[in-house]
Amino acid sequence: MAKQNAPSCERNKQPILDVIALYFSNASKVLEIGSGTGQHAVFFAQHLPHLIWQTSDVVENHGSINAWISESTLFNIQSPVEFMLGRDQWPPINVDAVFTANTTHIMQPQEAKTMMALVAKHLPKGGVFCQYGPMKVNGEFTSESNQAFDLKIRSEGRGGIRDIGQLKEWAAGMTLSAIHPMPANNFLLVWFKD
């Protein structure tokens, strides 16, 4: 499979890096849930050379991820493991940080709930989870464009934009430490394992 390119990844990679660099400064190995095209993984691994970036996704996306990795010649990024929430077991690897971008609103509610519980279960004490994407706040959309986007993805069978309060309920064992407003009506949530 050829290298895929998502324009949104190009637009948001630097703002995301600016935030996760703070929280992953002491991390040694990060699991990315839903590596998608592979763009984010390569960009972040390149700029965070102190850690190992472990990619993961459904098999259909592995070709593009591996194409990005091969072209990069980086030594601190690992080929994707197969991981689909609700179907696959947590990968048999030890990590002290987890990252995901633009996955929570794609997942069905039960899958998103499972993700929060699994991250809380498998992070070590003090481990960090950075979660990026559109979110609702107190049950409200933060923009008309997000509301329209939610309608669109739900009509396509996706789960829809989740509320930050709902994610907190599902994240037993983790504390929401910071909420960073991001460009294009997104947020980056930072969770720490209690």
Write down the domain spans for the chain.
7-193
- Residues near 59 by Cβ (< 8 Å), separated by ≥ 6? 82
- Chain segment 70-127, per-residue pLDDT in tens: 999 999 999 999 998 888 889 999 999 999 999 999 999 999 999 999 999 999 999 9
- Chain segment 118-159, per-residue pLDDT in tens: 999 999 999 999 999 999 999 999 999 999 999 999 999 999
Total-model pTM: 0.96
Q: Which of 4, 18, 93 is nearest to 55 (CA)?
A: 93
Task: Find the DSSP H helices in 73-194.
Answer: 109-122, 144-155, 164-170
CATH fold for the domain made of 7-193: Rossmann fold (3.40.50)
